[in-house]
Amino acid sequence: MANGVDMPLLGFGVFQIPPDVTERCVKDALSLGYRMIDTAQVYGNEEGVGKAIAECGIPRKELFIVTKVWLSNYGYEKAKASIEESLRKLRTDYIDLLLLHQPYCDVYGAYKALEEAYRAGKLRAIGVSNFYPGRLMDICRNTEIPPMVNQVETHVYNQRFEGRKYMKELNVVPMAWAPFAQGRNGFFTNETLVAIGKKYGKNPSQVALRYMMDMGIVVIPKTTHKDRMAENFNVFDFKLTDEDRAEIAKLDTKEPVILKDHSTPEATKLILDLKEMLEKSAAEKK
């Protein structure tokens, strides 16, 4: 990253994994060789991640833990308190990478808290998630410590060639959520990925991961099945040719398939409605 800190190109994501299953999944992933775990405050499973990394027997310095500040915790004071809460739940003195989860609400107040925690050594790196080029350019030009990572929906159907051009210019590492497009558009049976995979004895998921990693995109595939975790990690023993990559590049539709462009009013409304729904649910539980 821009600050010289190394991060793995391949990690394990825990989005939508139930809290009571997360600990087992993270332990399985770590036992297979994964060293980066990606979670978020809104996922509700930071505690499961924390328990797993505390009990796995792997030195903390060998692990790379990523989490994200949710919209309900934006603003300087709320974000500052939420960082301490994430540290507690993750059972760690520091977080390797902390991201702002969405580009809405009091972004700059929250980011100030990230900068402060970074200077204090509580965070090894900071960044953002779901920031499209214009929004990313804005925050990079108006902060003392520019984001080092931007995590966005990226997969073979939405390869973000244009967006990654700006990330490179800004020295921001691209990180892909939903690298398998959540199985949409026939991802797991895509003819191009299947055909290329047959040449190397690999499946479409492995081909897609190798392709993105070759382009310097950090990937965090998610599964609750240990055998699939092993498959997703088994991508270091083959190389794609220029011809392979050219064929995969043709799959790009330049459009997200999971969540519409975050710069649109529809996407903004969807995310803010989710924020309000979660806040209401949390208040009712109290």
Q: What is the CA radius of gyration of the chain?
A: 18
Q: What is the pLDDT of residue 263?
A: 79
Strands, sheet with 173-177, edge to edge from the N-terminal-most edge strand: 12-13, 36-38, 64-69, 97-100, 126-129, 149-153, 173-177, 218-219
Q: How confident is the model at residue 260 (pLDDT cuts 50, 70, 90)?
A: confident
CB 12 within 8 A of CB 220: yes
Residue with tokens 């998610």: 222
CB 70 within 8 A of CB 98: no
Q: What is the pLDDT of residue 259?
A: 82
CB 211 within 8 A of CB 159: no
Residue 37 burial (CB count, 10 A): 26
Give the mean model confidence (pLDDT) for residues 222-250.
98
Q: Is the pLDDT of residue 286 over 80?
A: no
Percent above pLDDT 70 for the chain: 100
Percent above pLDDT 90 for the chain: 95
Q: How confident is the model at residue 258 (pLDDT cuts 50, 70, 90)?
A: very high
Q: What is the pLDDT of residue 7?
A: 98
Q: Which residue is catalytic, options 43, 74, 132, 211?
A: 43
Q: What is the pLDDT of residue 262?
A: 80
Annotated catalytic, 43? yes
- Least Cα distance to 219 among 209, 211, 234, 229 occurs for 209
Average pLDDT, the chain: 97
Q: Is the pLDDT of residue 58 over 90?
A: yes
Q: How confident is the model at residue 200 (pLDDT cuts 50, 70, 90)?
A: very high
**Quick one: fold of 12-285?**
TIM Barrel (3.20.20)
- Least Cα distance to 124 among 99, 90, 141 occurs for 99
Q: Is the pLDDT of residue 188 over 90?
A: yes
